[in-house]
Amino acid sequence: MSSSRTQSSSSSSSSSVWQHQYMKLHFFSRIRSLFKSKASSRKRDFQSSTQISRTQQYSEKVVAPPEILSKPPEDENEEVVLQRTVKKLHFGTFEEKEKAAIEIDKLSREDKNIRKLMAELGVLQVLVSMVASDISGHQRSAVMALIQLSHGTHTNKALMVNAGICSKLPKNVEVLDQSTRYGFAELLLSLSSLTSLQLPVASSQILPFLMETMNSDTTEMKCKEICLATINNLCLVLENARPLVTNGAVKTLLSLILVKDLSEKALASLGQLVVTQMGKKAMEEGSTVPKSLIEILTWEDKPKCQEYTAYILMVLAHQSWSQREKMANAGIVPVLLEVTLLGSPLVQKRAVKLLQWFKDERNVRMGPHSGPQTSRESSSIGSPMSPRSGEEGKKMMKNLVKQSLYKNMEMITRRGNVDLEREACRLKSLIISTSSKSLTY
């Protein structure tokens, strides 16, 4: 009985060793076949270029030394380096894997075809596992290599996501140096542009990493810009609105809108979130709303920021008497009047629409076809105005238009009368002067 157990254990161990050897043999055979095909194509290109050069030399009657139709030594070195690098990445020590990742980063920058080749050799999965390492150099080299391998290929991005890159992001940003922090932000920006595969935003470390990076005082401005671009890509997917608001994206974005270098990207993301119910509610509860938004309306050198801000204010003021009252108390009316004169055509249109929603010194009441309506007595959000109040608002607007029209007509008539009087005086003086010259004494 014991002999049979010994035989079974020995057979299982021998089978595992055989499987491991078979995997290594299969791995190196794939590399050899890829290198052979690459070398043969290069040899054909080299022979054709040599033949063309010989023809040119013969036509010019120049004696040239015989060409050697062998593979250039630099090509051979490149293949040897690639083979050694992939081998170290799979089976090497920690130091060898770090050096291999650096070499893969270098090779991917020089040759675009190597990016697809690395995916076939199983390099992406190993690099993703290295991202979770606690060693800073080990982590940084893997991130930089993954950034290069993600450029220009959707397949590599999908393989990274499937390998679990989104769950291996660092939980503490402060322990990362600036280059590693920037590398993670750049990698997430590249992955967020993947439209064919939705990122696991709710169940991964993507949002906590982005929020902590943007809220950190030690993060450089350029790194924050990349994080904002990633947030903007995530906001384009409606399903990401809830996890974004839950992870404090609205609060973080509101804290960055007054920074002119970051304001445009932050406002663009807020414009995507404010149209959702959760996003609008989170913005209404913000302590800096609407004062910070009204301040941005005065930035004449940032027309795009003015347009985003006017749109956000329109959404917040729609069917919300409390928000319109806060805006009026914060002094939005004179700012809107200035924007209607000096702003871009789009922000002028939005400012005029907002002005229609305010009464003279309190709030302008609009009709049911022009925007939000709320009664003065009701402070609940979204409460509609009564038909009587709407009719009063219409009459008030008509009276204002008539008064403005009468004033303009009166001014035009006054100017016309002055011009006629001046012309009559000029003609009278001209007649007198000519008649006096014709008289004889």
3-state DSSP of the chain? CHHHHHHHHHHHHHHHHHHHHHHHHHHHHHHHHHHHHHHHHHHHHHHHHHHHHHHHHHHCCCCCCCCCCCCCHHHHHHHHHHHHHHHHHHHCCHHHHHHHHHHHHHHHHHCCHHHHHHHHCCHHHHHHHHHCCCCHHHHHHHHHHHHHHHCCCHHHHHHHHHCCHHHCCCCCHHHCCHHHHHHHHHHHHHHHCCCCCCCCCCCCCHHHHHHHHHHCCCCCHHHHHHHHHHHHHHHCCHHHHHHHHHCCHHHHHHCCCCCHHHHHHHHHHHHHHCCCHHHHHHHHCCCCCCHHHHHHCCCCCCHHHHHHHHHHHHHHHCCCHHHHHHHHHCCHHHHHHHHHHHCCHHHHHHHHHHHCCCECCCCECCCCCCCCCCCCCCCCCCCCCCHHHHHHHHHHHHHHHHHHHHHHHHHHHHHHHHHHHHHHHHHHHHHHHHHHHHCCC
The tokens of 18 are what? 């055989």
> Residue 74 has what pLDDT?
45
Tell me the C-alpha distance between 357 and 246, whole Å. Answer: 31
Tell me the C-alpha distance between 170 and 36, whole Å. Answer: 41
Tell me the C-alpha distance between 285 and 275, whole Å. Answer: 15
pLDDT tens track of the chain, all 441 residues?
Answer: 444 444 444 444 555 545 555 555 555 566 656 555 555 555 555 455 545 444 444 444 434 344 333 344 444 466 777 888 888 888 888 888 999 999 998 888 877 788 888 888 889 999 999 998 877 788 999 999 999 999 878 888 989 999 999 999 998 999 999 999 999 999 999 999 877 667 888 888 999 999 999 999 999 999 999 999 999 999 998 899 999 999 999 999 999 999 999 999 999 999 999 999 999 999 999 999 999 999 999 999 999 999 999 999 999 998 888 898 899 999 999 999 999 888 899 999 999 999 988 854 454 444 444 444 444 333 333 334 455 555 666 666 666 556 656 655 666 666 556 555 666 666 666 555 554 444 443
> Residue 93 has what pLDDT?
86
> Residue 115 has what pLDDT?
84
The tokens of 174 are what? 């402060």
> Residue 281 has what pLDDT?
94
Q: State pTM to two decimals.
A: 0.67
> Residue 294 has what pLDDT?
95
> Residue 233 has what pLDDT?
93
Tell me the C-alpha distance between 225 and 308, whole Å. Answer: 17
